[in-house]
């Protein structure tokens, strides 16, 4: 199969969830002997990013355009030009590794769509939310007319996307995300150095991945953590990734020195924090998948998560699932786990086994099978 993968190249180096998914899926699709893969992307992003990634990305064949990704996407949308076959005449399948659109002439078109979050009711929707919702509405309407397959990452996401765009329901294929293989190995020295420099190796801490945002249930965190810290005074809350500044200010005021807010981190440092954490806490209100749950499990760390959206589907019985809108329940579960090593050990063992079920080899094989059905 001749497969052209459109990748936003700047998003796959030191990236968050969607970028890691695009990177891993592309790499593992290319590993199949019956796939001849080329990568479509922006020239300047290629020149900046690919040397940092190294092999196998330095070895791929590329078709590159000079326009910025947003103007290029607008040209594809408005003019339906240039077609994917202009880059590769013998193309069989055009694969957009995230929510985007590349027109095709005779080849099949497949696209990964992660969730329906921008279409869901959101009490904290702002101008950026409405702008993105408008853009994605136009995109999904176009894809509904032209895409042959929609890959999404959970049954929850498939159901929510189909709710808003029922005409694509029979073209939705669920293939779960997976864990990058390195999370099963010991954390690299770069990450361990970060822990030592920030004094994170000598006291218990709870890791809160993906930052403080409304969608990540930051309001519940603001209510719950002071009471958790009161009960377990030597525990610290470590908040990683990007944050809503409003919540950061509130957290610093209410939590004092019991919180460490890291901002965005390299994957090496993130790995070390997962591994060193006493617990990983994922109280999100909405997740299309919830990759940090599996990453933490792969690092042998016990997980507490909310019972909302895709999190129960991902965690199975290997995490403590807590009602999403019940601060008292989160407080009780976290206190108990922080104070009871045997409970954490049970979750660690179950989590490791759970994470091992989600491999990129398996996910890429499943997605390739879906591609073969439409070519």
Residue 155 sits in the same domain as residue 226: no
Q: Distance between CA 324 and CA 340 in Å, rounded?
A: 23
Half-sphere exposure of 241 (CA within 13 A, CB side): 16
Q: Which CATH number characterizes residue 33's domain?
A: 3.40.50.2000
Residue 159 sits in the same domain as residue 264: no
Q: Distance between CA 217 and CA 318 in Å, rounded?
A: 21
Contact yes or no for 274/2 (Cβ under 8 A) = no
Contact yes or no for 291/177 (Cβ under 8 A) = yes
DSSP state of 95: E
Q: How confident is the model at residue 121 (pLDDT cuts 50, 70, 90)?
A: confident
* pLDDT tens track for 36-93: 999 999 999 999 999 999 999 999 999 999 999 999 999 999 999 999 999 999 999 9
Q: What is the three-class DSSP state of 206?
A: strand
Structure tokens at 224: 């719950």
Question: For position 128, what pLDDT does the model report?
Answer: 74
Which residues neighbour 317 within 8 Å (Cβ) at sequence distance 6 or greater?
A: 350, 354
Rg (C-alpha) for the chain, rounded Å, is 21
Phi, psi of 203 (to 5 degrees): -155, 150
Q: Distance between CA 201 and CA 198 in Å, rounded?
A: 8
Is pLDDT of 125 > 70?
A: no
Mean pLDDT calculated for residue range 161-177: 98
Domain that holds residue 318: 181-355
Residue 114 sits in the same domain as residue 218: no
Residue 192 sits in the same domain as residue 217: yes
Question: Residue 140 burial by CB count (10 A; 0-12/13-18/19+): exposed, middle or buried?
Answer: buried
Residue 287 sits in the same domain as residue 236: yes
Question: Residue 145 burial by CB count (10 A; 0-12/13-18/19+): exposed, middle or buried?
Answer: exposed
Residue 108 sits in the same domain as residue 167: yes
Residue 52 sits in the same domain as residue 79: yes
Residue 128 sits in the same domain as residue 162: yes
Residue 161 sits in the same domain as residue 307: no
Residue 211 sits in the same domain as residue 115: no
When divided into structural domains, the chain yields a total of 2
Structure tokens at 233: 């005074």
Structure tokens at 141: 């309407």
Is pLDDT of 171 > 70?
A: yes
Of the candidates 236, 251, 241, 240, the residue with the CA atom closest to the CA atom of residue 205: 236
Contact yes or no for 288/174 (Cβ under 8 A) = no
Question: For position 131, what pLDDT does the model report?
Answer: 87
Q: Distance between CA 122 and CA 127 in Å, rounded?
A: 12
Is pLDDT of 203 > 90?
A: no
Residue 90 sits in the same domain as residue 185: no
* pLDDT tens track for 297-353: 999 999 999 999 999 999 999 999 999 999 999 999 999 999 999 999 999 999 999
A 10 A CB-CB count for 244 gives: 17
Q: What is the three-class DSSP state of 264?
A: coil
The whole-model pTM stands at 0.94
Instruction: Tell me whether the omega of the peptide bond preceding residue 82 falls within 30 degrees of 0, making it cis.
Output: yes
Strand runs (DSSP E) across the chain, as ranges? Answer: 2-6, 36-42, 61-65, 93-96, 108-112, 149-152, 172-174, 205-208, 236-240, 259-263, 279-282, 302-306, 320-322
Contact yes or no for 9/49 (Cβ under 8 A) = yes
Strand pairing category for 172-174 and 149-152: parallel
Residue 30 sits in the same domain as residue 105: yes
Q: How confident is the model at residue 201 (pLDDT cuts 50, 70, 90)?
A: confident
């Amino acid at each position: 199969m001749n497969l052209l993968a459109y990748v936003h190249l700047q998003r796959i180096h030191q990236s968050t969830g969607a970028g890691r998914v695009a990177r891993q899926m592309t790499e593992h699709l290319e590993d199949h002997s019956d796939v001849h893969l080329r990568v479509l992307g922006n020239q300047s992003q290629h020149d900046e990013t690919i040397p940092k990634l190294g092999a196998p990305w330095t070895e791929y064949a590329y078709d590159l355009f000079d326009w910025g990704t947003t103007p290029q996407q607008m040209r594809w949308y408005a003019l339906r030009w240039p077609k994917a076959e202009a880059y590769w005449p013998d193309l069989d399948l055009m694969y957009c590794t995230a929510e985007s659109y590349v027109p095709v002439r005779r080849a099949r078109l497949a696209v990964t769509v992660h969730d329906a979050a921008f279409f869901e009711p959101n009490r904290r929707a702002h101008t950026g939310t409405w702008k993105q919702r408008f853009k994605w509405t136009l995109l999904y309407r176009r894809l509904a007319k032209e895409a042959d397959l929609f890959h999404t990452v959970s049954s929850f996401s498939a159901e929510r996307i189909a709710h808003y765009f029922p005409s694509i329901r029979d073209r939705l294929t669920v293939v779960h995300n997976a864990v990058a293989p390195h999370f099963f190995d010991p954390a690299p020295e770069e990450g361990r150095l970060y822990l030592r420099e920030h004094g994170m190796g000598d006291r218990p801490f709870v890791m809160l991945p993906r930052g403080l945002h409304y969608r990540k249930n930051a309001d519940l965190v603001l209510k719950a953590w002071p009471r958790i810290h009161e009960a377990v005074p030597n525990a610290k809350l470590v908040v990683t990734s990007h944050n809503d500044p409003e919540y950061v200010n509130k957290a610093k005021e209410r939590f004092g020195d019991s919180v460490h807010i890291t901002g965005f981190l390299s994957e090496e440092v993130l790995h070390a924090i997962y591994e060193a954490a006493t617990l990983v806490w994922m109280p999100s209100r909405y997740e299309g998948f919830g990759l940090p749950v599996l990453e933490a499990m792969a690092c042998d760390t016990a997980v507490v998560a909310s019972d909302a959206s895709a999190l129960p589907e991902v965690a199975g019985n290997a995490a403590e699932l807590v009602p999403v809108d019940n601060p008292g329940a989160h407080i009780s579960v976290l206190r108990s786990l922080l104070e009871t090593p045997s409970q954490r050990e049970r979750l660690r063992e179950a989590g490791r086994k759970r994470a091992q079920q989600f491999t990129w080899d398996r996910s890429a094989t499943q997605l390739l099978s879906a591609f073969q059905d439409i070519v």
